Structure 1
Amino acid sequence: MERKDVTLVGKLGEYDYNRPYVCSECGGIMIFRGVGEYECEDCHYRAYDDYGKARNYIEKNPGATSGEISERTGVSQKAMRQMLRESRLEIASDSKTFMKCGICGVNIRHGTLCEKCAASYHRLAEEQERTKRMLAGYGMDIKERNEGAMRFIKPDQNK
């Protein structure tokens, strides 16, 4: 049985990080066990996606650089940058390399926004959702009463 590597992009552009779908040992189906780890339902062989490989390497080698992780695990630099944006990985505190906040440009170690901008962004989103919920009911009683039919003005017959 020939095994094909499958990489999918989810509905929101999320990376699948080279998830193992088929067991490389017996051809069975791989079941997610958590933190990037998968186990074959038939032979119980364990395999890791890109996140699991990177995480395991970082745990064994604290302070490893992204180039070193990529070279030793085979995880692409692009996948690691995506994991940093998703806050699945974090840049070491003693590193001189940082990412920039998408709104104010301050240095950050993970994600896309600093804590201050993230808080204001979420507060604004909550306000918009609350306003949307408050306005959702207007006009509904007329629609229910007339079952969505058009309303016509009757011509004045006294003229």
Structure 2
Amino acid sequence: MEKKDITIVGKLGEDYNRPYVCKECGGIMIFKGVGEYECEECRYLAYDDYGKARNYIEKNPGATSGEISEKTGVSQKAIRQMLRESRLEIASDSKTFMKCGICGANIRHGTLCEKCAVSYHRNVEEQERAKRALAGYGMDFKKRDDGAMHFIKAEQNK
């Protein structure tokens, strides 16, 4: 089987370099979990960007994004995206923080602090409830101009 370089773009347009084809034998890589992939032919293990970053952090707690990027080859842009997606978290003893997208508070992962996230989701839920309250049963029913009932005549069913 011919070896191919295949790259799929992640959900937010970010390239996480998922291995689809085995570098060793050209077999198909099967997802095993937590960024790990195994070749179904030769059992070679490979990692996507998340798996590489996560493994490095587990072995080197408190590593900076620059260090992770340098040692694993994962771009700092991809690391920032993983922080925004809450796939990674800034260490609790770090003086580095990200900012909440609403109030500007310091956060360690995601895009919103806990307080703003709760408020935001409550607002979305209230808007959905308001939409559903207006969309009652039969709202799309169209009346006939002559006011007659809508019945099917017996001869139409034959």
Q: TM-score range by the shorter chain?
A: 0.7 to 0.9
Tell me, in whole angstroms, the C-alpha distance in 2 between the residues paired with 1:96 and 1:61: 17
Alignment of 1:1-159 (within 5 A): 1-10=2-11, 13-140=12-139, 143=141, 148=142, 151-152=144-145
Q: Give secondary structure in 1 for the equivalent of 2:37.
A: strand
Tell me, in whole angstroms, the C-alpha distance in 2 between the residues paired with 1:95 and 1:116: 21
Mean Cα deviation higher: 24-33 or 125-134:
125-134
Tell me, in whole angstroms, the C-alpha distance in 1 between the residues paired with 2:72 and 2:30: 21
**Deviation digits for residues 88-143 of structure 1 (CA, Å, limit 9, x no counterpart):** 11111111111100000111110000000000011111111222222222543x62
Q: Give secondary structure in 2 for the equivalent of 1:91.
A: coil
Tell me, in whole angstroms, the C-alpha distance in 1 between the residues paired with 2:54 and 2:39: 20
Any stretches of 5+ residues in structure 2 without a counterpart? 148-158
Q: CA deviation at 1:42?
A: 1.2
Moved over 3 A (4+): none
Q: Give secondary structure in 1 for the equivalent of 2:31.
A: strand
Count of residues paired in the alignment: 146
In 2 relative to 1, CA 14–35 (structure 1 residues): closer, same or farther, beyond 3 Å? farther
Q: TM-score, normalised by structure 1?
A: 0.84
Tell me, in whole angstroms, the C-alpha distance in 1 between the residues paired with 2:46 and 2:125: 40
Q: TM-score, normalised by structure 2?
A: 0.84
2:31–2:37 CA contact under 8 A, matched in 1: yes
Map of 1:157 onto structure 2: none
Q: Give secondary structure in 1 for the equivalent of 2:121.
A: helix
Tell me, in whole angstroms, the C-alpha distance in 1 between the residues paired with 2:10 and 2:29: 18
Tell me, in whole angstroms, the C-alpha distance in 1 between the residues paired with 2:61 and 2:97: 17
Mean Cα deviation higher: 74-83 or 36-45:
36-45
